[in-house]
Amino acid sequence: MKFSPLVDELIHSLRCLPGVGPKSAQRMAFQLLERNRKPGLQLAETLAQAMSNVGHCKSCRTFTEEELCPICASNKRGNSATICVVETSADVLAVEAGGHFSGRYFVLLGHLSPLDGVGPEELGLSLLEDHLKSGDISELILATNPTVEGDATAHFIADMASRHNIKVSRIAHGVPVGGELEYVDSTTLALSFNGRVPI
Amino acid sequence: MKFSPLVDELIHSLRCLPGVGPKSAQRMAFQLLERNRKPGLQLAETLAQAMSNVGHCKSCRTFTEEELCPICASNKRGNSATICVVETSADVLAVEAGGHFSGRYFVLLGHLSPLDGVGPEELGLSLLEDHLKSGDISELILATNPTVEGDATAHFIADMASRHNIKVSRIAHGVPVGGELEYVDSTTLALSFNGRVPI
Ligand SMILES: [Zn+2]
Ligand SMILES: [Zn+2]
């Protein structure tokens, strides 16, 4: 018996949010109850709607409550001949924030991980293959993460693209601009040496 | 146009939570959508209920969805002759976590702050005075914060208690146990000198 059941339950429920421990859950609950009831109700409403209605774009698999996400639905980008393949919807946002890519995306919603039961079907690769077979696509840019699983996934998709004679490349990994050599991990450093370009 | 309207709105709504900036709101939204839909729906439900139904205990003013909070409703503590006065419901939890106080509480839900329009009425002091007049109370422990406003509030309530011949004290402020002198701020240090006890 810490508080009334409902307050206890609110504190407990808030912990489903990533990065929210017991202390911050309590702080959130009190602040909402003390002076944010209206935004709190609004959040409850939006959350319920989003959890129930947000699905995946039927062309690129990113999150959307429509059939097509805004990018796939747009005339210009939705018909682009270039697809950038990423692991998550958050990666889409990261690339969009860069502002240099103007093609469309394909979101795997994960990476190949046979031990966890994640194979080509779970990543929607037959849908991606449909795109490749359609004749509308000329280039595939692989932007999976530079991890063992991300590498394996990239190679698997690269093979698929080759079978359909689609040009395929992978984004460069290396020392970030502004990064200092001594603080870069050894894997990144190895990647940056392997990917060196003549000047 | 970052995402679909509903996903954008979810990210925006999550920012009503204290300490949640744009980056973490986005991370929360994606994690909920990716793999926490059921807890997310549960949170939406609890949040809506709490925002609508949690009120204040009619005896001590702490948050509760019942007429009386569990402490005031309990036979043992609800009839205690000692009341500890705190500023917020979170303070109740902090004192409870200590586990040494077994009386009841009175929650001011703030402190005297005339410039913000917070006077004795907003702090429920007439309700507190009813308790003092009832003859059931023998001691008042003031645990308002050691700030200018907390001090003023404590003095105001102490005067009220004196008028009703109720024993009144204020919790000690000073160097925390395990704290090191050199890292304690000067105000706390001053308080700890003023509050020195003979050994
Ligand atoms: Zn799409
Ligand atoms: Zn109460």
Q: For A60-114, write each residue's pLDDT tens digit.
A: 999 999 999 999 999 999 999 999 999 999 899 888 888 888 999 999 999 999 9
Please give, rounded to a whole number of angstroms, the shortest distance from the CA of B193 to a CA of chain A: 31
Tens digit of pLDDT for each residue in B38-60? Answer: 999 999 999 999 999 999 999 99
CA of A115 to the centre of ligand 1 (A): 28
> Regarding the domain delimited by B57-170, which CATH topology (the fold level of the hierarchy) does it fall under?
Dna Topoisomerase Vi A Subunit; Chain: A, domain 2 (3.40.1360)
Mean pLDDT of chain A: 91
- Residues with a beta carbon under 5 angstroms from ion ligand 2: B 57, 59-60, 69, 72
- CA-closest candidate to residue A166, choices A195, A137, A187, A190: A137
pLDDT at B187: 82
Q: Is A54 on the interface with B (CB under 8 A)?
A: yes
Work out the percent of chain A whose per-residue pLDDT is above 70: 98
- CATH 3.40.1360.10 in chain A: give the residue spans: 57-170
Q: Pairing state of beta strands B55-56 and B63-64?
A: antiparallel
Between CA B132 and CA B83 the distance in angstroms is 10
For residue B181, pLDDT over 70 is answered with yes
DSSP classification of residue B114: G
Interface touch A3/B64, C-beta < 8 Å: yes
> Which of B30, B44, B96 is nearest residue A47 as measured by Cβ atoms?
B44
Query: What is the maximum alpha-carbon separation in chain B?
Result: 69
Q: Is A130 on the interface with B (CB under 8 A)?
A: no
Written as one letter, the residue type at B56 is H
Helix (H, G, I), strand (E, B) or coil at B4: coil
Interface touch A50/B18, C-beta < 8 Å: no
DSSP A93-162: HHHHHHT---SEEEE-SS--BGGGTB-TTTTTHHHHHHHHHTT---EEEE---SSHHHHHHHHHHHHHHH
For residue B4, pLDDT over 90 is answered with no
How buried is A41 (Cβ within 10 angstroms: 0-12 exposed, 13-18 middle, 19+ buried)? middle
CB distance A4 to B46 below 8 Å: no
Split at pLDDT 50, 70, 90, the class of A2 is low
- CATH 1.10.8.420 in chain A: give the residue spans: 5-53
Tens digit of pLDDT for each residue in B67-103? Answer: 999 999 999 999 999 999 999 998 998 888 888 889 9
If you search the block for the tokens 């502002």, which residue do you land on? Answer: A99
Report the residue of chain B nearest A68, measured CA to CA: B4
Work out the percent of chain B whose per-residue pLDDT is above 90: 75
Sorted by sequence, the CB contacts under 8 Å of residue B113 that are 6+ apart come out as B149
Task: Write out chain A residues lying below 8 Å of B93, CB-based.
Answer: 2-3, 26
Tens digit of pLDDT for each residue in A10-24? Answer: 999 999 999 999 999
For residue A1, pLDDT over 70 is answered with no
Sorted by sequence, the CB contacts under 8 Å of residue B37 that are 6+ apart come out as A51
CA of B150 to the centre of ligand 2 (A): 21
Ligand nearest the Cα of residue B56 is 2
Sorted by sequence, the CB contacts under 8 Å of residue A101 that are 6+ apart come out as A84, A95, A141
Q: How many Cα atoms are found within 13 Å in the side-chain-facing hemisphere of B49?
A: 17
Q: Which CATH architecture has domain A5-53?
A: Orthogonal Bundle (1.10)
Split at pLDDT 50, 70, 90, the class of A159 is very high
Tens digit of pLDDT for each residue in A109-142? Answer: 999 999 999 999 999 999 999 999 999 999 999 9
In the stretch 17-46 of chain B, residues with CB closer than 8 A to chain A read 17-19, 24, 26-34, 36-37, 39-46
Q: Pairing state of beta strands B139-142 and B104-107?
A: unpaired
pLDDT at B98: 81
Run of H or E residues at A11: helix A5-14
pLDDT at B172: 85
pLDDT at A79: 93
Q: Is B97 on the interface with A (CB under 8 A)?
A: no
pLDDT at A98: 81
User: Which pair of structure tokens corresponds to residue A65?
Assistant: 């409550």
How buried is B68 (Cβ within 10 angstroms: 0-12 exposed, 13-18 middle, 19+ buried)? middle
Q: Is A76 on the interface with B (CB under 8 A)?
A: no
Q: Is A123 on the interface with B (CB under 8 A)?
A: no
Name A84's bridge partners.
Answer: A105, A141
